[in-house]
Amino acid sequence: MDRDQGERDDEAPGRPTLKTLAFMTGLGVTTVSRALKDAPEIGAETRRRVQLVAKQIGYRPNRAGVRLRTGKTNVISLVLNTEREIMSFVSDIIYGVSEVIADTPYHLIVTPYSRSQDPLDPIRYLVETGSADGVIISRTQPNDPRARYMLERGIPFATHGRTDMGLVHPYHDFDNYAFAAEAVRHLAGMGRRRLALVTPPVGLTYHGHTVNGFTDALSEVGASEVPFNTVSIDHSIEQIRMRTAQVMRRQDRPDGFVSSAAAATLAVVAGIEDAGLKLGRDVDVVSKQSSELLHLFRRELLVVNENFRLAGSELARSVLGWIGGAEPGSLQSLSLPGEVVAYHRPD
């Protein structure tokens, strides 16, 4: 009827809003809002018209407006430990997540926490302030307080690594049991019989998986374990190196290593060489890596690749799926390790 609000409408040079669209189309803001989301009670022609104009003038909904009204933030938070995260993990997982949310309205915020803090702190902050619609966490524990907390509050999340609490939630994990077992079998196949394991950080779920795969395969192939559990991949390069050198100077030294991370592997190799031994002759090492660098380091190294970018994508897909109403139980994935790969000289 009286759409003639008249000339008093601001010739806003700023960003177009629903009001702008309403003015341009001669409709009410409500109609415009509904037309843009394909509501059925808007006429087909009107709908097309509004959407056309919106596209033409490059309308983008104001995030603050939506967020204030609906509580939806359109934000996914990636929670990271500032000291202990594997370097390539950070980079790759961010890109993996980015890939997936690229054509969605979602933004990715990085929420860091430091060694000194309770890992629950950043989660509490996110939940209490309602800063994200979904959360991705790493360094998952069998009984993870963060997962429990978010499950209680009903906030969608996905974990990198599994929990073991009898609770169901989305996750993505690399099959570290299979990795460790395969590594042992490979070493055994090369005649190695006394194996040491450079474990993941104690307390994380995949520590257990890795250890189990390792020991199960050991007994399967009839090899034995050389205890090496005073360090993990969380320890410093220097600590791992020293400990390796130490164990390699004993006469009951290992003739094979399985290492859960590339950086630790560098330290192990350095330690081996500190003890005057030679990789490939006195000892073999199978290592996980997330970028193709270990073969450049020492061509004798045996590697298994873990794709963190894929992990990021899967985790993002899971969280978005949960936000979108899918069953958490259907948003779990496990990535199987490839073969142990040895170096082939390009020629």
Partner DNA sequence: GTGACAAGCTGTAACGTTTCAGTATATTGG
Partner DNA sequence: CCAATATACTGAAACGTTACAGCTTGTCAC
Whose Cβ is closer to DNA: residue 67's or residue 148's? 67
Contact between 65 and a copy of itself (CB under 8 A)? Answer: yes
According to CB under 8 A, which one of 20, 25, 31, 88 is a site residue for a copy of itself? Answer: 88
Stated as kind and residue range, the H or E segment containing 112 is: strand 107-113
Kindly give, in sequence order, each residue whose CB lies less than 8 Å from that of residue 99, ignoring residues fewer than 6 positions away: 309, 312, 313, 316
Q: How far is the CB of 58 from DNA (least distance, A)?
A: 12
Interaction residues for DNA, span 58-87 (CB under 7 A): 61-62, 64-66, 68-70
Contact of 284 with 190, CB cutoff 8 Å: yes
Q: Which of 7, 24, 31, 251 binds DNA (CB under 7 A)?
A: 31
Give the position of tokens 């993002």.
316
Query: For residues 317 and 124, what is the distance between their CA atoms, to the nearest angstrom?
Result: 23
Name the minimum Å distance from CB 106 to a copy of itself: 10
Residue 73 near residue 130, CB atoms below 8 Å: yes
d(CA 19, CA 22): 5
- Which does residue 124 bind out of a copy of itself, DNA, none, counting CB within 5 to 8 angstroms by kind? none
Q: Which residue has the tokens 């004993």?
A: 250
CB of residue 154 to a copy of itself, shortest distance in Å: 13
Nearer to DNA, 56 or 143 (CB): 56
Residues in the chain: 347
Residue 228 three-state SS: coil
CA distance to 122, 136, 204, 313, per residue, from 146 (Å): 9, 11, 13, 21
Q: Which C-beta is closer to DNA: that of 69 or that of 344?
A: 69
Supply 164's token pair.
Answer: 């073991």
Q: Give the interface with a copy of itself as residue ranges (CB under 8 A).
A: 15, 58, 60, 62-65, 67-68, 73, 75, 80, 82, 85, 87-88, 90-92, 94-95, 98-99, 102, 107-112, 128-131, 237-238, 241, 263, 266-267, 269-270, 291-293, 296-297, 346
Q: Give the interface with DNA as residue ranges (CB under 7 A).
A: 1-3, 14-15, 17-19, 26-31, 33-34, 36-37, 41-44, 46, 61-62, 64-66, 68-70
